[in-house]
Amino acid sequence: MVVALVAEKIRGFIYKIQSFFHKNKHPLYARKVRFSYNGSEVLKNLNLSVKTSQIVAVVGKSGSGKSTFLNLVAGVLTSSFKGKVLVMGRQRGFAKEDIGYVPQEIALVPDMTIEENLAFFGRINGISRKSALNAGRKLMSIMQLKVPLGRYPTRLSGGQRVRLNIIVSILHNPKIIILDEPFVGLDYKNRKLLWHFLEHQRNRRRTIILTTHMLTEAEHRADRIVLLHNGRIFAKGNIGDIREKLKTMYVVEYKFKYLSKGQEASIRKYCADHEILVLDMFNNYMMFSITSEGQKNYLSKFFEKQKLEFREMGFREPNLDEIFLGVGA
């Protein structure tokens, strides 16, 4: 027991020394990351490497560990964890100048003007007031935030505040930008603007890692999607990779005229026997995840055999939202 503990400490020390000298080519390199909080394991053996100039969307249900993972990478979580997290090839403690962390909540000083906020957040990130104001003005112009610098954040609209929240986080021109749920509460126009901004940063060889529940947008805009479930990476890659991994090639929806408890049970049994996932169900509506068109035909025949009156609502490739429904189902 003691030997194992000492061995682990020595391993951790060696990791630290290695990472101090070792230049890893990945902006983010996480290996065998485990993190427990209050006795429950939030992150379980998580491995992830992110390349330069990528937008990576970390998605997952609430409590899947995505915010915890981002907070761990950004250094917001100071509790000890197991495994290895390298940012720009260094231990995260030595790479803070390279990280721009945007918290989920608006983290601005409400009683200070925009100008004072820019200067303050610039200074805590190690840059002078002058540099912070210059960078802030540039970023405000890119983000189309046309408000006087003397205005207080409390007098900005929700979308403007989110944009300012991001601006103050990246005044020091970090190489890796971490955003925790940046799209929450934003309308479509502001979301689109934010995606454009992130793409602009990607084109400047910045790496962006974000968590989001806007799966459809992430599917189209992000270079890579990492699907977390119960603290593990369930799937990663582009949407095709994830569909394949989860065997959700198509979704089919049915509306039944009437569905008794017994009929529902027999459908569920059929699905379980034939590796079909019931993605969603409400009253007489059901959505299934299937791997081929043939599987859909078998399903329809089964309904007819059960003397169920039904109407097919749709048959298509699933989007990320629909894939997401099948995770853990």
Give the shortest CB-104-to-other proteins separation in angstroms: 8
Stretch that binds other proteins, among 124-132, 198-206, 267-275, 278-286 (CB under 8 A): 124-132
- Using the rule CB under 8 A, which residue among 7, 124, 265, 272 binds other proteins? 124
Residue 110 makes contact with other proteins by CB under 8 A: yes
Q: Two tokens at 179?
A: 């955003």
Residue 211 makes contact with other proteins by CB under 8 A: no
The Cα–Cα gap between 326 and 45 comes to 22
Give the shortest CB-106-to-other proteins separation in angstroms: 8
Helix ranges, the chain (H)? 2-21, 66-74, 114-124, 129-142, 158-169, 188-203, 215-221, 239-246, 261-273, 293-305, 320-326
Q: In terms of CB distance, is 126 or 314 closer to other proteins?
A: 126
Residue 109 makes contact with other proteins by CB under 8 A: yes
Residue 182 makes contact with other proteins by CB under 8 A: no
Residue 207 makes contact with other proteins by CB under 8 A: no
Stretch that binds other proteins, among 99-107, 256-264, 267-275, 289-297 (CB under 8 A): 99-107
Q: In terms of CB distance, is 87 or 259 closer to other proteins?
A: 87
Residue 108 makes contact with other proteins by CB under 8 A: yes
Q: In terms of CB distance, is 78 or 203 closer to other proteins?
A: 78
- In angstroms, what is the C-alpha Rg of the chain? 24
Q: In terms of CB distance, is 74 or 242 closer to other proteins?
A: 74
Three-class SS state of 18: helix
Residue 116 makes contact with other proteins by CB under 8 A: no
DSSP line for 292-303: SHHHHHHHHHHH
Residue 178 makes contact with other proteins by CB under 8 A: yes
Residue 103 makes contact with other proteins by CB under 8 A: yes
Q: Is the separation of the CB atoms in 287 and 281 below 8 Å?
A: yes
User: Is residue 62 packed enough to be buried (19+ CB in 10 Å), middle (13-18) or exposed (0-12)?
Assistant: exposed
Residue 96 makes contact with other proteins by CB under 8 A: yes
Q: Find the helix packing angle between 188-203 and 158-169, rounded to 10°.
A: 20
With a CB cutoff of 8 Å and minimum separation 6, the contacts of 288 are 251, 252, 253, 254, 271, 276, 277, 278, 279, 299
Binding mask 74-93 for other proteins (x = CB under 8 A): xxx-xx--------------
What are the Cα distances from residue 57, in Å, to 69, 180, 243, 270, 323? 12, 10, 16, 35, 15
Residue 105 makes contact with other proteins by CB under 8 A: yes
Tell me which residues touch other proteins (CB under 8 A). Answer: 71, 74-76, 78-79, 96-97, 99, 101, 103, 105-110, 121, 124-126, 169, 172, 178
